[in-house]
Structure 1
Amino acid sequence: MGLAEAILAIVIIVALEAILSVDNAMVLAVMVKPLPPELRKKALLYGIIGAYVLRGLALLFATVIINVWWIQVLGGVYLIYLAVKFFLSRQSDEVRSPEEEVRASVQQSFWRIVVMVNVVDLAFAIDSVLVVVAFSKVFWVIFTGVAIGILLIRLAAGWMVRVMESYPRLEQVAYAVVGWAGLKLTLEGWNLGAEVWLHNEALALHLPKELFLGVTLLILAVGTLWALRSSDRSPSST
């Protein structure tokens, strides 16, 4: 592979990572937001390190990792749990918010969040591994593109946290996307399990990628307009 061809492949892989990881960035933002500002950066930094290691292993053992269907189910169920917990906490004064839970045990929550950030990232990585491998078989080219994509996702997650602090209602939009992404991951894991473990593709429940992307964009568009038109802005934004 020539240099020009390698650069083109890297650009394509970075673009694919960005497109496939719109929901991933929002999930990361939601997961680290309960932490104090100084710990958010550390969580995202450790997440980047973990993501590089896990993505590298996923690429090296792609034929094995894509068959570990329960990772996607675990990640998906956890995201659904986060979304349900968030919306239920808004309905009951007795349920503590994620921020309050973190304040009660910051260090313990910090490492739990770091671990779950990496678990969820690996769950998201499984479907993207198949896509990027289709564009190049050269490991350093694939890994370079994926590494740049991971860095951009982390930067986007940090930016989203700051935006949600300025427009608090955007957090509800973010959790709606998180729950929707969790459903997608759970179904993908279930479908893979039906094929690999149960050997019965008839049990698969397919969610077309076009439908998932369309609903995601709809949630973001309508939710963002609702949040921005609201007068419920935090003092920090003024």
Structure 2
Amino acid sequence: MTEYLLSLLQIIMINLVLSGDNAVVIALACRNLSPELQKKATFWGSFGAIGLRIILTFIAIWLLKIPFVQVVGGLLLIWIAVKLLKGEDEDSHIGGGSSFIEALKTIIFADLIMSLDNVIAVAGAANGNLVLVIIGLAISIPLIIWGSQLLMKLMNRFPIIVLLGAALLGYTAGEMIVGDKAVGSFLEGVMPSLHMILPVALALLVIVIGNYLKRKEKNVLNKEVTNNHAETL
């Protein structure tokens, strides 16, 4: 029961951290439409995006049962966590549609790409439990449709949410790797305690790498600004 509740808390936190971007896509894609069409595009765009997410999630559950796939999924999740902490702004590339159909296509296409991180993370945290997956999907739906502004404001106001979320993804990645049918049994034979150590180690690694890359990028930007300022003098 405790393990079930911990998995559920993981899924809720993952959805809180990763559903914000998907919700913002809807707002950006609909911003040039009339108020009436905005509501229509938001509803049908969300409906299409949620349908895709359900299909992707069940495909992910099936794939994660194949040997070595959980290792690949875990490594992908580490990259997603580092990217989240580094602060790459995917939404800045999303343009607003000038018509209902354009906005609808933008929402569904962008959500298809951006939902992959959420789907992999939820499937990994659920560990094949369909009830947890369904709960995870049910939680993500209102977050996508109604939670965009609130989530982004909370993340901006409390950066610790992003930090904890990235660490959680790193931890989930570790659990996925040690839970892999092929690799998990090998790791357990090498060091039985590794199934507890690796998730914690990867959570810390994500924080270290993400913060390092963030500082490095900030230093490069500051240097460019300084050079540009010097050239204008």
Task: Report the TM-score when normalising by structure 2.
Answer: 0.52
Give the superposition deviation at 1:158.
2.8
CA distance in 1, matches of 2:13, 2:90: 20
1:152 equivalent to 2:147? Answer no
**Aligned position for 2:12:** 22
Match of 1:189 in 2: 173
- What residue is the counterpart of 1:128 in the other structure? 126
> Which residue, out of 114, 117, 127, partners 2:115?
117
Structure 1 unmatched ranges of 5 or more: 1-12, 87-96, 133-141, 213-238
Q: Provide the C-alpha distance between the structure 1 equivalents of 2:82 and 2:42, rounded to a whole number of angstroms.
A: 22
CA distance in 2, matches of 1:104, 1:114: 17
**What corresponds to 2:223 in structure 1?**
none
Whether the 8 Å contact between 1:29 and 1:158 is mirrored in structure 2 is no
**Deviation string, structure 1 residues 12-46 (Cα, Å, up to 9, x no partner):** x8x88753422232211234314334566555434
Q: Any conservation in 2 of the 1:30–1:171 contact (CA below 8 Å)?
A: no
Q: Which residue of 2 aligns with 1:206?
A: 199
Aligned length: 173
d(CA) in 2 for partners of 1:158 and 1:104?
A: 17
User: 2: distance between equivalents of 1:99 and 1:63?
Assistant: 32
CA RMSD of aligned residues (A): 4.2
Distance 2:154 2:64 in 1: 36
Structure 2 Cα separation of the partners of residues 99 and 178 of structure 1: 16
More helix by share: 2
Superposed counterparts of 1:175-186, under 5 Å = 176-186=160-170
The C-alpha deviation readout for 1:168-221, integer Å capped at 9, x for no partner, is 64232576434433333334434544674483355652339xx99xxxxxxxxx
Cα deviation, 1:84-135, whole Å, max 9, x if unaligned, reads 225xxxxxxxxxx5554323898778624422213431232122134x3xxx
Q: Tell me, in whole angstroms, the C-alpha distance in 2 between the residues paired with 1:174 and 1:129.
A: 29
Q: 1:78 corresponds to which residue?
A: 80
Answer yes or no: is the 8 Å Cα contact 1:23–1:177 preserved in 2.
Answer: no
Query: 2: distance between equivalents of 1:98 and 1:162?
Result: 16
**% identity of equivalent residues:** 12
What is the one-letter code of the residue matched to 1:161? S
- How far apart, in 1, do the equivalents of 2:94 and 2:171 lie? 30
The alignment partner of 1:73 has SS state of helix
Contact 2:49 2:112 in 1 (8 A): yes
Shift, 1:154, TM fit: 1.3
CA contact 1:50–1:118 (8 Å) conserved in 2: no
Q: Secondary structure at the match of 1:206?
A: helix
Larger radius of gyration: 2
Q: Quick one: distance in 1 between partners of 2:198 and 2:7?
A: 25
Matched to 1:74, the amino acid is L
TM-score (norm 1): 0.52
